[in-house]
Amino acid sequence: MSLPTWQDRAAARVAEPGEGISRDELALAARNHAMPAEALRWDVTPVGLHYVLVHYDIPAVDAATWRLRVDGGAGSVVDLSLADLEAMPRSTERVTLECAGNGRALLEPRPVSQPWLTGAVGTADWTGVRLVDLLDRVDLRPDAVDVVFRGADHGTERGEEQDYARALPLDEARRPDVLVATEMNGVPLPVQHGFPARLVVPGWYGMAHVKWLTGIEVLDHTFDGFQHRAYRLRQHADDQGVPVTRMLPRALIQPPGYPDFMTRERNLPAGPVRLTGRAWSGRGEVTRVEVSTDDGTTWREAELGPSAGPHAWRSFGIDWDAAPGDHRLRARAGDDTGAVQPLEPAWSRGGFANNGDDAVPVHVHLMPRG
Site string for a copy of itself, 164-203 (x = CB under 8 A): --------------------------xxx-----------
Exposed, middle or buried by CB within 10 Å (0-12, 13-18, 19+), for 279? Answer: buried
Alpha carbon separation from 15 to 22, 41, 109 (Å, rounded): 10, 34, 6
Pick the stretch among 56-64, 166-174, 235-243, 305-313 that binds a copy of itself (CB under 8 A): 56-64
> Cβ of residue 159: shortest distance to a copy of itself, in angstroms?
9
Closest by alpha carbon to 147, among 185, 122, 124, 178?
A: 178
> Cβ of residue 326: shortest distance to a copy of itself, in angstroms?
15
Among 4, 5, 16, 41, binds a copy of itself (CB under 8 A): 41
Among 221, 236, 264, 274, binds a copy of itself (CB under 8 A): 264
Pick the stretch among 54-62, 121-129, 231-239, 305-313 that binds a copy of itself (CB under 8 A): 54-62
* Alpha-helical segments (H) within 136-198: 170-173
Q: Does 36 bind a copy of itself (CB under 8 A)?
A: yes
C-beta of residue 360 within 8 angstroms of C-beta of residue 318 = no
Nearer to a copy of itself, 15 or 167 (CB): 15
> Cβ of residue 287: shortest distance to a copy of itself, in angstroms?
28
Among 67, 79, 155, 243, binds a copy of itself (CB under 8 A): 155
Q: Does 351 bind a copy of itself (CB under 8 A)?
A: no
Closest by alpha carbon to 14, among 235, 276, 281?
A: 235
Nearer to a copy of itself, 34 or 291 (CB): 34
Residue type, 248: L
Nearer to a copy of itself, 188 or 284 (CB): 188
Question: Cα(269)–Cα(370) distance, rounded to whole angstroms?
Answer: 13
Report the first-to-last Cα separation within the chain, whole angstroms: 71
Q: Does 54 bind a copy of itself (CB under 8 A)?
A: yes
Closest by alpha carbon to 72, among 135, 13, 17?
A: 135
Pick the stretch among 66-74, 166-174, 256-264, 271-279 that binds a copy of itself (CB under 8 A): 256-264
Residue type, 153: D
Task: State the number of binding residues for a copy of itself (CB under 8 A).
Answer: 57
Instruction: Report the DSSP beta bridge partners of residue 77.
Output: 71
Site string for a copy of itself, 86-115 (x = CB under 8 A): -------------------x------xx-x
Among 11, 14, 58, 362, binds a copy of itself (CB under 8 A): 58
Alpha carbon separation from 324 to 260, 299, 310, 330, 358 (Å, rounded): 17, 19, 39, 18, 22
13-14 and 111-112 as β-strands: parallel, antiparallel, unpaired?
antiparallel
103: Cβ contacts below 8 Å, ≥ 6 apart: 116, 117, 118, 120, 345, 351, 354, 355, 356, 358
Question: Under rule CB under 8 A, which residues in 3-32 are in contact with a copy of itself?
Answer: 19-32
Exposed, middle or buried by CB within 10 Å (0-12, 13-18, 19+), for 305? Answer: middle
Nearer to a copy of itself, 49 or 140 (CB): 49
Nearer to a copy of itself, 28 or 129 (CB): 28
Question: Cα(335)–Cα(280) distance, rounded to whole angstroms?
Answer: 8
Nearer to a copy of itself, 110 or 311 (CB): 110
Among 62, 161, 171, 238, binds a copy of itself (CB under 8 A): 161
Site string for a copy of itself, 266-295 (x = CB under 8 A): -x----------------------------
> Cβ of residue 153: shortest distance to a copy of itself, in angstroms?
9
Closest by alpha carbon to 189, among 212, 206, 170, 168?
A: 212
Binding residues for a copy of itself, rule: CB under 8 A, are 19-34, 36-39, 41, 46-49, 52, 54-58, 60, 105, 112-113, 115-117, 119, 154-158, 161, 190-192, 255, 258-264, 267
